Amino acid sequence: MKEKYDVKIYKKLVDQAKIAAESAYAPYSAFRVGSAVYTDTNNIYTGCNVENAAYPSGVCGEDVAIFKAISEGEKKIDVIAVACIDAKSDTAFFPCGQSRQRMAEFGVEEVVIANTDSTYKIYAFEEVLPYSFEF
């Protein structure tokens, strides 16, 4: 896949996602996830997961970053980076289906999945959600 942006943008997003993960509230899973989105206006917004004792009430780090961008007036998110800093293996973790569908809503084109060692891989959005729901 041909990346849309300079490698420095992706590296910055991964770094910001890892920093955001440090703020996660994850007392139940101990699985801290951070995310950083890059908008079509060249702004970056970050988010972390926030768990709740009533499990369905928690929110994913990817969604928090998206919500922050949209609440600040953004309309289009080009790239999202996701990092989990507490993974027990080197396996990369992908966003859940709900977060992927939310990404589709705001036009994400690329998804950057960071490994625990700060390496990352860039995926075209269609690779992570090939059949998103559309009206």
pLDDT in tens, 31-50: 999 999 999 999 999 999 99
SS3 102: helix
Instruction: Note if 22 is an active site residue.
Output: no
Q: pLDDT > 90: what percent of the chain? A: 77
- Considering the candidates 62, 72, 105, 134, report the single residue annotated as catalytic: 62
Q: Nearest 5°: phi and psi at 96?
A: -70, 170
Strand partners, 37: 45, 80
CB 44 within 8 A of CB 15: no
Other Cβ atoms less than 10 A from the Cβ of 42: the count is 9
CATH topology of domain 7-128: Cytidine Deaminase; domain 2 (3.40.140)
Tell me which DSSP letter residue 38 carries: E
* Rounded (10°) CA dihedral 57, 101, 69, 55: 10
CA gap 113, 82 in Å, rounded:
5
CB 112 within 8 A of CB 120: yes
* For range 1-29, the mean pLDDT: 93
pLDDT in tens, 46-87: 999 999 999 889 999 999 999 999 999 999 999 999 999 876
CB 63 within 8 A of CB 82: no
